[in-house]
Structure 1
Amino acid sequence: MSDSMRILLVGAGGVGGAFAAIAARRDFFEAMVIGDYTVASAERAAAVDDRFTAAEVDASSASSVEALCREHSITHVMNAVDPRFVMPIFEGAYAAGADYLDMAMSLSRPHPDAPYEQTGVKLGDEQFAVAGEWESAGRLALCGIGVEPGLSDVFARYAADHLFGEIDELGVRDGANLTVEGPDGSTSFAPTFSIWTTIEECLNPPVVWEKDRGWFTTAPFSEPEVFEFPEGIGPVECVNVEHEEVLLMPRWVEAKRATFKYGLGEEFIDVLKTLHKLGLDSTEMVRVGGAEVSPRDVVAACLPNPAELGPRMKGKTCAGLWVTGKDKDGAPRSTYLYHVVDNEWSMAEYGHQCVVWQTAVNPVVALELLARGVWSGAGVLGAEAFDAVPFLDLLTEYGSPWGQQELDPVG
């Protein structure tokens, strides 16, 4: 194992803080610099381990990222901030000679004339456009390596290699039974993940992939279905949402269709539709008094910080992949591969709420596999490009096992 991995973690928010807490228990890296625009946040996250140091970084500036990489001889840049910062961090890592990982890819732009039928600029297009340069340089950009995308893509590789001879659909299904208690004990509206990112992915035209059509779009919240989630979570209505898996999986895994559906719940969908109707989802700057602000940033500032919700949260979150098709012997098969995290467990064990913890654990596992030399590659790659078994084994070793459920193949 290489002990010379030096990581720059950009972003010390909910996921970044959880990433640091998980990595602190592992010995596969030499040092980690935790960079944030707010140094105090970086210092809090860095306090858990002597190998960690805090630094200020401007995630919107490739040169700021490059300079910090060079100052600390960084080998791997881990992006843990909103996807609007993907490109400057991605470019800064490349300029500094470091490898790169993220949990969300470069942003999409809807088709100007037919947004709910045709794709415009797709998620990840800006990164894939320079894949040849990364490959020629022998450098790796491992993209979409959170939980979704990330673990769901590992599941796709596992299903193709070990469970299915022919895949009809790779259907990511995400749901939870989480509640957040308000100060008076009643349930309050408080998103458990970055509201900026949630608005982006839920109000953009969702993407679907079909072998005979390629990528196309539908309307937000389309094709609702009730999916029965395991481990006591139960039935949750899921709808189409724009997500990276649909853009990643077909590049490496043979299938007839790829979808992503998210269990948002009726209240959340109503809130998102209202924000859109009022223009509060916009990222364009508006003048308010003497200041210029983005409406979406205002919404995010008015809601509780997801990283601080843990003590008020109850329940479990589930991320998974529903695969349908035929098994290796040609018989019909329907299998749900999943990962459940109980908030009570993640808070007691790590002090971080389950949604951010579940997102953060996967890039730590991936970095350990890269440090060990178990995973290696060059170019702009998704998790589907690598062997799934070592990843799933190591995730279990981290104390957070995955699950497999056989469903009625007719249903």
Structure 2
Amino acid sequence: MRILLIGAGGVGDAIVKISADRNFFEKLIVSDYDIQRAENSVAWVKEHSPEAADKFQTAQIDASDADQVAALAKEVGATHIMNAVEPKFVQSIFDGALKAGVNYMDMAMSLSHVHKTDPFNTPAEKLGDWQYDKHAEFEKAGLLALIGTGAEPGISNIFARYAADHLFSEVDEICILDGGNLVVKNEQGEEIFAPSFSIWTVIEECLNPPLIWEKDRGWFTTEPFSEPAMFEFPGGIGPIECVNVEHEEVNMLPRTMDAQKVRFKYGLGTEFIGVLQTLHALGLDKTEPVSVRSKSGRVEVAPRDLVAAVLPDPASLVDSMTGMTCAGTLVTGKGLDGKPRATYLYHVADTSWTGKNYNAQAVVWQTALVPVVALELLSRGDWKATGVRGPEEFDAKLFLDLMSTEYQQPWGSQDRNPENPSVIDANWA
């Protein structure tokens, strides 16, 4: 397996560092528009895992150019392209992989488009629709496009599949629940607003109308931050108010899994929601360029890119962030014994551990872990298919076993009171 990694930001950098300890690939080519970022990632490998350094090399790339993606993939003899950049580049990289005849993987999927006249009821183009429409092309080419394989979507989908296959006889609802107690402080020790993931992606997810799926109704949308409710996260994180957010799993899981309802809820917190609402009110969430006066004349700048430029790079937060993040899936329905059951399956990452061992903050490290495990399963032949597929279409137990043993990352399965699964009940947990 020869992997072309596109993007050496926070998640891409963590992918390199996690991969340095594994031997399932022949070569990993780290590419980025900014070649220095790619070189920094490989320099870390040379320092911390010198015996693996020869398996890594760097390259410069413009991810917005499908022809350049295809050309570099052919030049380095890639068998797989790993997309680790912002979702606005999904289509060009996806097309580049197909042109090059190379397998593809990503963690965030092609962007959605809001319904022009009925945004809070009717979806238009959903997250990932553009990619799913290419299924026949990848299948005909004998290639696999494994999409949505990060933490969320990704391990959340795998948890859903595991629960359906091993814990439940009948699934009522699949609710992805993400939360954490992460805190970022400046040099003066003051808590600051600094998203742990790309603000570009955060704005896209949180300000678009949330997507929900119900078996009798199909896909529909609601207003942003709808249905606030408390959910108690494990690992000492505690209760956090969670709200509906647009996310890929809601488009992915109903395609191959039998459930009555699928939704995604995010523990954002009131302050975070307030900042996002302010950005929206000021028009700073927009992606269309506006004309801005500068010393050298007028320039075109997308307001969202400006916001991203003034906020700290998520990859740089490792020394100023504390706390844990939890990615998980709450499944309700009937257990194998036919009785009502509610189970929350989850993985927790702690910045103190990820920072010490990988110089990476918890959110980007947790996201990076999943594609590395998945790539290893593909290299072994344990996961194999063609076409455009989500991780829930593969054997979940194989993934979780490999992650917990060889990668030494345990995951949790917490039974909860079916009548009130949002609260940890000592009689059930």
Which TM class, normalised by the smaller chain length? over 0.9
Structure 2 residue aligned with 1:46, among 42, 48, 53? 42
Structure 1 residue aligned with 2:148, among 135, 144, 147? 144
Identity %: 59
SS of equivalent to 1:300: helix
CA–CA distance in structure 2, aligned partners of residues 20 and 299 of structure 1: 27
Displacement after TM superposition at 1:219 (Å): 0.4
1:276-315 Cα offsets, whole Å, 9 max, x none, are 0000000000111121110000000000110010111111
Structure 2 residue aligned with 1:393, among 381, 388, 401? 401
1:79-106 Cα offsets, whole Å, 9 max, x none, are 0000000000000011101000000110
Displacement after TM superposition at 1:50 (Å): 2.2
1:2-52 Cα offsets, whole Å, 9 max, x none, are xxx000000000000000000111000000111100010111112213211
What does residue 101 of structure 2 align with? 97
Q: Is the 8 A contact 2:101 2:141 kept in 1?
A: no
Q: Does 1:283 align with 2:298?
A: no
Q: Does 1:318 align with 2:326?
A: yes
CA–CA distance in structure 2, aligned partners of residues 197 and 117 of structure 1: 22
SS of equivalent to 2:54: coil
Structure 2 residue aligned with 1:237, among 233, 241, 247? 241
CA–CA distance in structure 2, aligned partners of residues 406 and 80 of structure 1: 34
Q: Does 1:122 align with 2:118?
A: no
CA–CA distance in structure 2, aligned partners of residues 394 and 12 of structure 1: 25
What does residue 339 of structure 2 align with? 331
CA–CA distance in structure 2, aligned partners of residues 157 and 215 of structure 1: 20
Structure 1 residue aligned with 2:378, among 358, 364, 370? 370
What does residue 419 of structure 2 align with? 410
What does residue 197 of structure 1 align with? 201
1:233-291 Cα offsets, whole Å, 9 max, x none, are 00000000000000111111110000000001100000000000000000000111121
Q: Which segments of structure 1 move beyond 2 Å, counting only runs of 4 or more? A: none
Structure 1 residue aligned with 2:255, among 251, 254, 261? 251
What does residue 6 of structure 2 align with? 10
What does residue 292 of structure 1 align with? 300
CA–CA distance in structure 1, aligned partners of residues 16 and 404 of structure 2: 19
What does residue 426 of structure 2 align with? none
CA–CA distance in structure 2, aligned partners of residues 379 and 358 of structure 1: 26
Aligned partner of 2:322: which letter? K
SS of equivalent to 1:50: helix
SS of equivalent to 1:216: strand
Gaps of 5+ in 2: 46-52, 421-429
CA–CA distance in structure 1, aligned partners of residues 235 and 54 of structure 2: 37
CA–CA distance in structure 1, aligned partners of residues 352 and 38 of structure 2: 25
Residue correspondence of structure 1 range 132-281 to structure 2 within 5 A: 132-281=136-285
Q: Is the 8 A contact 2:226 2:243 kept in 1?
A: yes
1:43-82 Cα offsets, whole Å, 9 max, x none, are 1112213211111111111001001001011000000000
SS of equivalent to 2:249: helix
Matched positions, count: 407
Aligned partner of 1:255: which letter? A
CA–CA distance in structure 2, aligned partners of residues 95 and 268 of structure 1: 41
Displacement after TM superposition at 1:328 (Å): 1.3
Structure 1 residue aligned with 2:311, among 303, 306, 309? 303
1:159-180 Cα offsets, whole Å, 9 max, x none, are 1100001111000000000101
Cα RMSD of the aligned pairs, angstroms, is 0.6
CA–CA distance in structure 1, aligned partners of residues 142 and 330 of structure 2: 34
Q: Is the 8 A contact 2:30 2:58 kept in 1?
A: yes
Displacement after TM superposition at 1:137 (Å): 1.7
